Structure 1
Amino acid sequence: MILETAVLSIKPGQETEFETAMKMAKPLIAASDGFQDMEVRANLDVPGQYLLLVWWDSVDDHEQGFRGSQRYGRWKELLHHFYDPFPTVEHFGGSITPGKTAIYDKIGIGYDNTRAPDPRIADRLVELMAPGDNARILDIACGTANYTGMLARRGMDMTGLDLSATMLQAARSTNPDLPLIQGSVDAMPLPGNSFDNVMCTLAIHHFPDLGKAFTEIARVLRGDRFVFFTATGEQTARYWLANYFPDAVKRASELDPSVDAIKEALKVAGFHRFEFVNWDVPENLKDLFAYAGKDNPELYFTEGIMDGISLFSNLAHEDEMASGLKALRADIDSGHWQSVRQQYDHDQGDYCFVVAEK
């Protein structure tokens, strides 16, 4: 594996437009043979400057493959007019230090203690997938197979796939007869046209690249409907949690794909029809993900709750966690939290189901 790097200097005042364009352009490069992953990071010391990092199988995959494709023409149209000066691209070899383990290997231990499947989410998934009789359903990034197992117990023909060995070990302990496969969503060890439906719950923000992942999903999907449950970046940014954990919520909203990025990735993958169905957190939610405490802030003081939520376990620094919980505790006790909660009211949904069809 090789690493492509470039320092991108953006014309003054055009940073926001550049970031939007980059999110739209990412599926174009991700559809290339040999593409592995990509990151764009803002320079904290130099305003308007960004570091582009792209991992490839080989230099030729970048120089000959992507740059020789029609997608590169669209990439140039979206991005090149922002640069001043035009960047120099360099390629580097493999790392001389070990890489990080999968995020969910870190939070997988004890995950089931707080992340029980909620029947209302399962019901909505089934309703939107509308599977036919004897349909084979693949659950992508199934984690500990909570939703996979729940639907299997309802008589559905389920298969789960996840990258994390820790998650799958926990899944097999509670679902010994469930077909579970370890693999990456962007290179699934599965034959094409092998599933009637594909589903996914709260995981697309961890995919290395949406375009490549959605293309793989389209490859294994012999039916025409892929349904996933997620939060868009726009929705996450509206959580009242931002009042107490601003840096973590900002990072999460940047990791959660925007509506436009999801649409672009689906189009690249060959999904031509898609619908966003907004969903608000209900009372007594069983699956305690990030905004489960929307109307019950005491939930965030429950022992172990933060360990199963990547927004807190992976994106919040220790100091921010301590100060945020202290401020939240004070606002709950004084009653001021209700005022904070009202400031973040909106009608755009806390999460959404996305229904995509080929």
Structure 2
Amino acid sequence: MTAKYDSIGLNYNKTRKADPFIAECLFTNLNPKADGVYLDIGCGTGNYTNALQKKGFRFIGIDPSNKMLERAKLKNPNIDWRQGQAENTKIKPNSIDGIMASLTIHHWKDFEQGFSELYSILKPNGTIVIFTSTPKQMKGYWLNHYFPKMLEDSMTQMPSLKTIENVMNHSGFLISKTEIYNVKPDLKDLFLYCGKHNPKLYLSPKIRQGISSFSSLANTTEVETGLIELHKDIANNTIQKIINSFKNDLGDYLFIIGKKPLDSI
């Protein structure tokens, strides 16, 4: 996993930037306090860590990839960047006021241990905000039409909402709410479904390199074939018919907000 993101990290910041709308959702749900200490777990190159820290809050950013962290440090040396994993943060119990985890939980080696560790380090009444996608939502991506095996492999590594809820509850978290997120046409963070409204984005090798499904999970032959088909459908405008056939009301991604009970000590 570290090697995979060391590779992705080489050009990550060219296509992966903090999207203002997503950053605001993270901020609103985290609801940080001026004197608190907050953790961005799986921070990558620190795009969202940086966006929220600039609002005047103290953040720690943890990621397993040194190459990602090198780029994060260049962006903002005032954040406490550390190499580590969700399963072993090396942070003292009950010392963190809030945690955000953006598009990272599917990369954890041990899902249960990850949530158990985050529960341990979070202060009572602390909040955790997760941004992720579920297999059920991903079945509604029109990308399935062109890259079925890649999407199947991507869905396999994504935990279902039920799994997330069960593991969080088992760890002690109380889930306060969930909010669906639909990709907007002006999305700045070019992750997997960034081209929902603009299919031409996927024709760019630079954009595909910043998406782990394309750069690490995909079968080269399927991607080449799918891109040829996608290019053809964009040219003759068949693409709109394909997009319309996948319309649904499940949302593209999901915010999950949990709390550590006040009486947990």
Corresponding residue for residue 327 of structure 1 = 229
1:173 Cα shift?
1.3
Corresponding residue for residue 249 of structure 1 = 151
Q: Secondary structure at the match of 1:314?
A: helix
Q: Which has the higher contact order (CA 8 A, sep 6+)?
A: 2
Corresponding residue for residue 199 of structure 2 = 297
**C-alpha deviations, 1:48-106, integer Å up to 9, x for none?**
xxxxxxxxxxxxxxxxxxxxxxxxxxxxxxxxxxxxxxxxxxxxxxxxxxxx7532112
1:275 Cα shift?
2.1
Corresponding residue for residue 18 of structure 1 = none
Q: Secondary structure at the match of 1:113?
A: helix
Structure 2 Cα separation of the partners of residues 224 and 183 of structure 1: 21
Structure 1 Cα separation of the partners of residues 26 and 132 of structure 2: 12
Corresponding residue for residue 186 of structure 2 = 284
2:256 equivalent to 1:354: yes
Match of 1:226 among 125, 128, 131: 128
Q: Count matched residues.
A: 259
Q: Given residue 339 of structure 1, which amino acid in structure 2 is its aligned partner? A: K
Corresponding residue for residue 203 of structure 1 = 104
Corresponding residue for residue 113 of structure 2 = 212
Q: Secondary structure at the match of 2:101?
A: strand
1:238 Cα shift?
1.5
Q: Secondary structure at the match of 2:51?
A: helix
1:274 Cα shift?
3.7
User: Of the two, which has the highest radius of gyration?
Assistant: 1
- Alpha carbons 1:231, 1:256 under 8 Å: kept: yes
1:188 Cα shift?
1.1
CA RMSD of aligned residues (A): 1.2
Match of 1:153 among 48, 54, 65: 54
Structure 2 Cα separation of the partners of residues 255 and 274 of structure 1: 25
Corresponding residue for residue 162 of structure 1 = 63
Corresponding residue for residue 272 of structure 1 = 174
The runs of 5 or more residues in structure 2 that have no matched partner are 261-265
- Alpha carbons 2:2, 2:65 under 8 Å: kept: no
Q: Given residue 195 of structure 2, which amino acid in structure 1 is its aligned partner? A: G
Corresponding residue for residue 263 of structure 2 = none
- Alpha carbons 1:281, 1:292 under 8 Å: kept: yes
**Between the two proteins, what is the percent identity of the paired residues?**
38
Q: Given residue 355 of structure 1, which amino acid in structure 2 is its aligned partner? A: I
Structure 2 Cα separation of the partners of residues 129 and 283 of structure 1: 25
Q: Secondary structure at the match of 2:249?
A: coil
Q: Given residue 119 of structure 2, which amino acid in structure 1 is its aligned partner? A: A
Runs of 4+ in 1 over 4 A off after TM superposition: none
**C-alpha deviations, 1:12-58, integer Å up to 9, x for none?**
xxxxxxxxxxxxxxxxxxxxxxxxxxxxxxxxxxxxxxxxxxxxxxx
- Alpha carbons 2:34, 2:57 under 8 Å: kept: no
Q: Secondary structure at the match of 1:353?
A: strand
TM-score, length of structure 2 as denominator length: 0.95
- Alpha carbons 1:141, 1:163 under 8 Å: kept: yes
Corresponding residue for residue 308 of structure 1 = 210
Corresponding residue for residue 35 of structure 2 = 134
Structure 2 Cα separation of the partners of residues 181 and 265 of structure 1: 25
